[in-house]
Amino acid sequence: MRAAVLEELGTPVPGEFRDPEPASGAALVEVVAAGVNHLDLAKATGRFYTGPPPLPSVVGSDGVGRRTDGRLVYFDTTVGPFGSMAERTLVPEDSLIPAPEDVDPVILAGMGNAGLAAHTALHWRAGLQPGETVVVLGATGVVGRFAVQIARLLGAGRVVAVGRDPEQLAHTAELGADATVQLGAVDDLPGALAGANVIVDLLWGEPAVAALTQAAHGARLIQVGQLAAAETAVAAPLLRSRAIDIRGHAVFHAPQDVRAAAYAQLGEACASGDLHVDVEAVPIGEVQHAWSRQAAGTGGVKLVIVP
Ligand X SMILES: NC(=O)c1ccc[n+]([C@@H]2O[C@H](COP(=O)([O-])OP(=O)(O)OC[C@H]3O[C@@H](n4cnc5c(N)ncnc54)[C@H](OP(=O)(O)O)[C@@H]3O)[C@@H](O)[C@H]2O)c1
Question: Per CB under 6 A, does 299 bind ligand X?
Answer: yes
CA 37/CA 113 separation, integer angstroms: 7
For ligand X, which stretch binds (CB under 6 A), given 20-28, 72-80, 88-96, 244-252? 244-252
Contacts of residue 275, defined as CB under 8 A and 6 or more positions apart, other chains included, come to 111, 115, 146, 149, 150, 153, 266, 269
Question: Per CB under 6 A, does 95 bind ligand X?
Answer: no
Question: Per CB under 6 A, does 298 bind ligand X?
Answer: yes
Question: Per CB under 6 A, does 20 bind ligand X?
Answer: no
From candidates 141, 176, 267, 307, binder to ligand X by CB under 6 A: 141
Q: Output the residue with the shortest Cβ distance to ligand X.
A: 141
CA distances from 97 to 30, 62, 119, 186, 267 (A): 15, 11, 16, 43, 12
Cβ proximity of 23 and 79 under 8 Å: yes
Question: Per CB under 6 A, does 142 bind ligand X?
Answer: yes
CA 5/CA 124 separation, integer angstroms: 34
Question: Per CB under 6 A, does 43 bind ligand X?
Answer: no
From candidates 11, 89, 95, 140, binder to ligand X by CB under 6 A: 140
Question: Per CB under 6 A, does 224 bind ligand X?
Answer: yes
Question: Per CB under 6 A, does 189 bind ligand X?
Answer: no
Q: Of 115, 62, 71, whose CA–CA distance to 91 is shortest? A: 62
Question: Per CB under 6 A, does 123 bind ligand X?
Answer: no
For ligand X, the closer CB: 95 or 113: 113
Contacts of residue 248, defined as CB under 8 A and 6 or more positions apart, other chains included, come to 223
Cβ proximity of 294 and 61 under 8 Å: no
**Exposed, middle or buried by CB within 10 Å (0-12, 13-18, 19+), for 24?**
exposed
User: Pattern of binders to ligand X over 193-212, x per CB under 6 A?
Assistant: ---------xx---------
User: What is the smallest separation between the CB atom of 102 and ligand X, expressed in angstroms?
Assistant: 25
Number of chain positions touching ligand X (CB under 6 A): 28
For ligand X, the closer CB: 61 or 214: 61
Q: Residue 295 half-sphere exposure, CB side, CA atoms within 13 Å? A: 13
DSSP 8-class letter at 86? B
Contacting positions for ligand X (CB under 6 A) = 38, 113-114, 117, 138, 140-144, 163-165, 168, 183, 202-203, 224-228, 249-251, 297-299
